Structure 1
Amino acid sequence: MSENNMKNQQPRRMGPPGPMGRGFEKPKDFKGTFSKLLRYLRPYRLKLIIVMLFAIGSTVFTIRAPKILGKATTKIFEGLVSKISGASDGGIDFQYILNIILILIGLYVISAIFSFIQGIIVTGVSQKVSYNLRREISEKTNRLPLKYFDSVSHGDVLSRVTNDVDTVSQTLNQSMSQIITSATTLVGVLIMMLSISWQMTIAAILILPISMVLVMGIVKRSQKYFKTQQESLGRVNGHIEEVYSGHNIMKAFNAEKEAVEKFRKINGELYNSAWKAQFLSGMMMPIMMFIGNIGYVAVSILGGWYAIKKTIEVGDILSFIQYIRSFTQPIAQVAQISNVLQSTVAAAERVFEFLDEDEEPKESETPVKLEEVEGRVTFENVKFGYNEDKIIINDFSADIKPGQKVAIVGPTGAGKTTIVKLLMRFYDLNEGRIFVDGHDINDFTREDLRDNFGMVLQDTWLFSGTIMENIRYGRLDATDEEVIEAAKSAHAHRFIHTLPDGYNMIINEEANNISQGQKQLLTIARAILSNPKILILDEATSSVDTRTEILIQRAMENLMKGRTAFIIAHRLSTIRDADLILVMKDGDIVEQGSHEELLSKNGFYAELYNSQFAA
């Protein structure tokens, strides 16, 4: 078994949760990451300019509408006043009102069309950026060395491909035009308010600091409850996942009551923190409305006074009140977007960190390509460690002749599986060289090198699909007949026919609708189908019953004829007929020879062998 040294993961800085209760992650380098993100948008700059123009146009038309509506209100007011006063030419000018209505309809229609067009363009740009990011991540994954995946959890990599890219995509889609619209609205509305009355504008603006102070106070108090809510939610999710995954064990030990009690406790903690957090955050809107209503009262009184003095028209008061509503909205939006941008740049930073990871060394410019592989493998003074300060293979040398069956044995952590990973260039050596048919493995392309190997690992891997498709994974152009023949050689054909739908049975995502032994037989059939020149069997029979083990051994005997085979095994009884047994201890070969030779030496191998049969 290999010894993988895990890097210490640095905790990422988390900012306070927003009003919706979701914590956001602070980027380490906001400016640098934002610049990289802009580079991804650069090819679409013409489209983005069009979006800006349409966003500004849509906002301008919307802003202009209240002022025009105010003129209609003024006209109606003047008509009513003249009618009441008994003027001969008094009355409401309905034609003027109709013209105003038509103008407003035209403005709103144009604004809606502009918004629709900018929405289509922004959606296209954001999805294209997401597509490019995912494509680059997929290509990058294939170029990364295995040591990266040994130091980072698979869930973290998947999170970058899915959650982080989705976060960037959604922000680009929703916030890009919203930023432009909010900024334009803020400036435009302020100008329109000043054009009506600068005194009323100052009165309206003075209300804002009051509401902001109150809102910030609530946010500060609610932050600790949102944090507790997220922690409790994590514990609830973890408990449910733990109980669900170990449901059978929980039932077997009659632990249902304890599981329910534990859930009630953490669910109660979640309820208490969530109630307080949501209550406090729910107070913000009523407070802002209350302060806003005070502003409306102040503006109405001031506006009425100016209207009596005939400084402004009655319709302008209505327009001004509408502008106040439009003025406070973009301020709230900008505050919200600033939090979203923090989260987005943090997500983009994680994606770019992944894309900037060191890749595998470049291939040889003049690679070796063998017409026919004989299968001679030579290890020459190999030295390797997953970290340079901890070498696990000190000085490994061996010469394996074509067609030999070589067993590698030793205690856990001796470096058995690591030898195989080095042979296939999953990792590069610290020192020494490995040769295949006299050629350094670094002189091959990785694809050509690995094309000559067939692997059957102790951890079976099957994907969601039919049994036929899973076996054909060994050679994608194989016919159905060749797949069936490989299954017969692996002694899998018989059990496949007993399954519903036979070769067309769908293996589910967890592959738990077939037994562990059956999974192993399918992976062996896959290796047989690939027709490799060199075989690697890593604990291939470690998780099967005795009868299945006998079937696998028979299949392997046929497969290994004429091929070089490396067998890594803990069950020493399965490798007694190996041509060469390499005994490893602490990264070195301490003994080598046939089974009988090693037993006669009465050394470390004999100790291992006898310990398995001591009972």
Structure 2
Amino acid sequence: MSLRHSPHGARQPGRQRAKSSMGTLRRLWTFIAPQKRKLLAALGMVVASTALALAGPYVIGSAIDVYIVERKTDGFLTTLLFLLAIYAALGAATFLQNYWMIAVGQRTVHAIRARLFRHFHELPISFFDRRQQGELMSRITNDIDNMSQTFNSTVIQVVSSTLTLAGAIAVMVFKSLVLTAVTLVVVPLMYAGMRWITRRTQVRFREQQRALGEMNGLIEEALSGQKVVKLFSQEERMTAEVVRKNIELKQAGFWAQTYSGFIPKLMNFLNNLSFALIAGVGGWLAVKGMISVGTIVVFVEYARQFTRPLNDLANQWNTLLSALAGAERVLEIFDLPKEEEDEGEAEEIDRLHGRIEFRDVVFSYDKQRPALRGVNFSVSPGETVALIGPTGAGKTTVLQLLARFYDPDAGAVVIDGRDSRTIKRASLRRHMAFVLQDTFLFAGTIRDNIRYGRLEATDEEVEEAARKANAHSFITKLPNGYDTVLTADGGGISQGQRQLLAIARAMIADPAVLILDEATSNIDTVTEVRIQEALARLMAGRTCFVIAHRLNTVQNADRILVLNEGKVVEQGTHEELLEAKGFYFELYRRYWERGRQRA
């Protein structure tokens, strides 16, 4: 049984949520601000490249009037070299703006991803019980990757397109008001079309990100529980679920891409319409002698530079909407309340003796149905206490409060004579170790997995802990011994061997208080004996809380706490409780005695 539970969490009041695009952008600026110097330099290059891009066509138009229409030759080479210099400088400015903006984007995304991962570790246990791991992984990978793409290219293109648009209009007005008005005819059409498209794509991109997160969560769950899926022959059902989620993602993605795909079609139509209008009206004006041929060339080129920025803005707007949808999902995690802060008077502790008391403890996960109701008991240092009772009796909740994953609603958990709320959580947990039924090992070497209990431990201490845990013999038989690399969750070794490594990890931590969830079920007899021997060494001289599933553990405990409906209904030794013929006696008679008969 895991120490995790499924309470109903509540949002911390007064926290701003990223519900509007401007609100999201303002909050993202806090991550971009440390890179503002490089960002300003990149934007400076954007201004320079935009000015150079606008200068090129202007020089070409003037050259056509002078050297082709008027047939002059003086200064032609100088004009050509000047034009080459403009485009060389344009290339350099474009390179620098991209180089600096990518640096800004990657550092910003790095900061967001690091903070998000750190925030995950600051959230209470209850948060992870309510979420799929794959869905959370989608936020730290897919959603942030969408943001990365925006930082790398979208910002530059939006600024560049806006400046190009403004500059092109200014030059066109200077050259010819009539042709400028003709060019601007397409703007109302463009605005109406883009408004129709973006109002639909924003919703679809949000649906796409949500569907992607949900499908990732389901796939991760199916792959992690592959053995259970096969044992219960649920392959078809899980496949059908993934197919259903995949269809939802396909539909959301189809409409998001379909609507956004209208943008280049609309822009191409408007480009062609603009060129046709400029060519027709400009040709008529040239025949009438109202403008020069060079001016028509300038306007044709600027018309392209006028509609291309609008096209870029439209395309990047969709990319921005997709990134904002991801950013909202990331910022939503930041809005979730962290694990409660340590109280102002909470202190670090150097050592723990292991005297534990529960004084009239009342606690509920949802503030409605009590999980514990007036629990009272005391445990002496070095004492082993077994917690038994039916499912939902409150056994796990007792251990949750002991480790300060939660604090009591009323009453107090007293440790070494002081309220646990006066001890900092991290300091308290450093003096505790957990050996749970579902052993989790990290991808890495066996040595590193054992050392996880105390990172500063030497190799000799790691091996000594493995010997005490009866793990040394099987480790040395592995191809690379202690340097054997385990796959995720300890793949490649047996369940019993994983338990021995978990015991070694707890052994090297040298805790004052030990919390055990017996894990010898479905393990062969020889391995079970080795685990029991290792646990006996680990428990010696330590205050131990054991969620008991087996009779021998109950019999060997110094004291048994019998819980039912959130109350301690009985406590005492195995013999004392049997003699009392109360609730424990009924449990013993109905379950354990029956199990012993079957054995």
Class of the TM-score when normalised by the shorter of the 2 chains: 0.7 to 0.9
State the match for 2:64 in structure 1: 73
Q: CA deviation at 1:224?
A: 11
Which amino acid in structure 1 is aligned with residue 23 of structure 2? Answer: G
Alignment partner, residue 14 of structure 2:
none
Secondary structure at the residue paired with 2:357?
A: strand
Aligned ranges 1:46-65 → 2 under 5 Å: 46-65=37-56
Structure 2 partner of 1:383: 362
From 288, 306, 312, give the equivalent of 1:309. Answer: 288
1:541 equivalenced with 2:520 (yes/no): yes
**SS of alignment partner, residue 285 of structure 1:** helix
Query: Counterpart in 2 of 1:12?
Result: none
1:99 is matched with which residue: 72, 78, 82? 78
Q: Distance in 2 between matches of 1:444 and 1:157?
A: 31
Map 1:275-354 onto structure 2 (within 5 A): 285-286=264-265, 288-354=267-333
Q: Name the amino acid aligned to 2:45.
A: F
Change (3 A) 1:214 1:41: closer
Counterpart for residue 122 of structure 1: 101
Task: Please say which of residues 327-336 and 573-582 is displaced more in the overlay.
Answer: 327-336
SS at match of 1:576: helix
Query: Alignment partner for residue 576 of structure 1, among 548, 555, 577?
Result: 555
How many angstroms does 1:355 deviate by? 3.3
Greater Cα shift, 405-414 or 280-289: 280-289
| Equivalent residue runs for 1:38-437 within 5 Å | 38-78=29-69, 93=73, 96-210=75-189, 285-286=264-265, 288-363=267-342, 373-437=352-416
**In the alignment, residue 520 of structure 1 is paired with which amino acid?**
Q
User: Among residues 465, 476, 483, which one is paired with 2:455 in the alignment?
Assistant: 476
Compute the displacement of 1:170 (Å).
3.3
Match for 1:32 among 23, 47, 57? 23
Which secondary structure state, in structure 2, belongs to the residue aligned with residue 432 of structure 1? strand
- 8 Å CA contact 2:202–2:318 kept in 1: the answer is no
Shift of residue 65, structure 1, vs aligned partner: 0.9
Shift of 1:234: 8.9
Q: After the TM superposition, which of the residue ranges 59-68 and 428-437 deviates more from structure 2?
A: 428-437
Q: In the alignment, which residue of structure 1 is the partner of 2:592? A: 612
CA contact (8 A) 1:460 1:519 kept: yes
Instruction: Give distance in 2, aligned partners of 1:250 and 1:183.
Output: 54
The whole-number CA distance in structure 2 between the counterparts of 1:209 and 1:27 is 31
Relative to structure 1, the CA distance from residue 184 to residue 513 in structure 2 (aligned partners, 3 Å threshold; closer, same or farther) is: same
- For 1:146 and 1:509, how far apart are their aligned partners in 2? 21
CA distance in 1, matches of 2:38, 2:494: 55
Counterpart Cα distance in 2 of 1:123 and 1:520: 47
Distance 2:122 2:128 in 1: 12
CA RMSD of aligned residues (A): 3.8
User: Which moves more between the two structures, 147-156 or 238-247?
Assistant: 238-247
Query: Residues 542 and 221 (structure 1 numbering): CA distance in 2 closer, same or farther, change over 3 Å?
Result: same
Q: Secondary structure at the match of 1:547?
A: helix
SS in 2 for 1:384: strand
The residue identity in structure 2 corresponding to 1:613 is E
Deviation for aligned residue 1:415 = 1.3
Q: Distance in 1 between matches of 2:486 and 2:385?
A: 33
Structure 2 counterpart of 1:501, one-letter code: N
| 1:599 equivalent in structure 2 | 578
The aligned counterpart of 2:487 is 508
Q: Deviations over 1:410-437 (max 9, x none)?
A: 1122111211121121111111112222
Query: Is 2:133–2:217's contact at 8 Å kept on the other side of the alignment?
Result: no
Amino acid at match of 2:352: V
SS at match of 1:299: helix
Cα offset for 1:182?
A: 1.3
- 2:134–2:220 CA contact under 8 A, matched in 1: no
Deviation (angstroms), 1:582: 0.4
| TM-score (normalizing by structure 1) | 0.83
Please give the alpha-carbon distance, in whole angstroms, between the structure 1 residues aligned to 2:241 and 2:330: 37
What are the ranges of 5 or more consecutive residues in structure 1 without an aligned counterpart?
10-25, 80-90
Give TM-score, length-normalised by structure 2.
0.85
Structure 2 runs not aligned, ≥5 long? 12-16
Deviates more, 1:139-148 or 1:271-280: 271-280
One-letter amino acid of the structure 2 residue matched with residue 54 of structure 1: M
Shift of 1:227: 10
Decide whether aligned partners of structure 1 residues 375 and 275 sit closer, same or farther in structure 2, where only a CA change above 3 A counts: closer
Q: Calculate percent identity across the aligned residue pairs.
A: 39
Distance in 1, Cα, partners of 2:337 & 2:204: 41
Choose 1 or 2 for highest CA Rg. Answer: 1
Q: Distance in 2 between matches of 1:308 and 1:462?
A: 83
> Does structure 2 retain, via aligned residues, the 8 Å contact 1:3–1:413?
no
Residues of 1 paired with 2:143 and 2:334: CA distance? 13
Q: How many correspondences in the alignment?
A: 587
Shift of 1:542: 3.9
Q: What is the alpha-carbon distance in structure 2 between the residues aligned to residue 406 and residue 38 of structure 1?
A: 53
Q: Distance in 1 between the 2:418 and 2:245 partners?
A: 61
- Tell me how far 1:347 sits from its aligned partner: 3.8
Confirm or deny: 8 A CA contact 1:410 1:570 kept in the other structure: no
Matching residue of 1:563: 542
Letter paired with 2:20? D
Residues 379, 244 of structure 1: alpha-carbon distance in 2 compared, 3 angstrom cutoff: closer
471-480 vs 362-371, greater mean Cα deviation: 362-371
Contact kept, 8 Å, 1:542 with 1:571, in 2: the verdict is no
One-letter identity of the residue aligned with 2:390: P
Tell me, in whole angstroms, the C-alpha distance in 2 between the residues paired with 1:436 and 1:65.
78
Question: 1:261, 1:456 → 2: CA distance?
Answer: 36
Greater displacement, 123-132 / 275-284: 275-284
Within 1, Cα distance between the matches of 2:111 and 2:216? Answer: 33
